[in-house]
A and B are shown apart, each in its own frame.
Chain A
Amino acid sequence: EAGVVQSPRYKIIEKKQPVAFWCNPISGHNTLYWYLQNLGQGPELLIRYENEEAVDDSQLPKDRFSAERLKGVDSTLKIQPAELGDSAVYLCASSLDSGRMDEQFFGPGTRLTVL
């Protein structure tokens, strides 16, 4: 069975450009998470979805970040415009439901470099 799929794996852009990351969770997983991981740090939750509903987006910088999970399956995280400080790894994870939050499966991440 395929794990969490993310694309692209790497992205290099210039500041002020837009960028989008895509995530396809494990089939049947209702809960989807987007995390930000800065170099030398642990992941920090940006947003959590239950099916198509964003139930926790308190850590998402809404002035430039947006996310959607329209059909409750795959999800897209967008940054517009990107800033130098956005350079990081963006991780997606999924779990069967929020009750099994501890059993999250992470994707390999998208490494973003903003020049």
Chain B
Amino acid sequence: GQQLNQSPQSMFIQEGEDVSMNCTSSSIFNTWLWYKQEPGEGPVLLIALYKAGELTSNGRLTAQFGITRKDSFLNISASIPSDVGIYFCAGRNANAGKSTFGDGTTLTVKP
């Protein structure tokens, strides 16, 4: 089946630094999604991407849908302590009834 590889697996950064993480797939997707999950909660959708090459921002977060349709990137600028959590990418095809999730990137921000 389709598998997503997220990297890095974890990140430890200083408050104020920028963060980059990515997600790659062995097959193409028509939709890329980025979620954040905090301890004891379910994932929350951050950004949805629907077109190859698309660049979308949500506050300090920016995500891109890779041209090859096999990858996506998430950047966080000027990180703050509340950015701590696990960031998941997910890919979905148009006719698929479900999204395939990566295994997440755990972000720790030191004040």
Contact = CB atoms under 8 A, between A and B. Distances in A.
Most chain B CB neighbours (cut-off 10 Å) among A4, A102, A108 = A102
Contact of A42 (B31, B40, B45, B102): B102
A41 B40 contact: no
B104 A109 contact: no
A53 interface: no
Contacts of B98: 45, 48, 56, 101
Given A40-B103, A41-B104, A106 B97 contact: no
Contacts, number: 53
Interface residues of A, number: 23
Interface string B86-111: 00101010000111011110000000
B85 interface: no
A109 B97 contact: no
Given A42-B102, A42-B103, A56 B42 contact: no
B9 to A, nearest CB: 9
Nearest to B44: A106
A27 to B, nearest CB: 17
B43 A102 contact: no
A4 B43 CA distance: 12
Nearest to A42: B101
Given A42-B90, A55-B97, A101-B97, A4 B42 contact: yes
Interface in A30-79: 40-45, 48, 55-56
Interface in B27-60: 31, 33, 40-45, 48
B104 A42 contact: yes
A82 B55 CA distance: 44
Contacts of A55: 97
Contacts of B41: 106, 108-109
A14 interface: no
Contacts of B43: 43, 91, 106
A41 B100 CA distance: 11
Nearest to B48: A102
Contacts of A91: 42-43
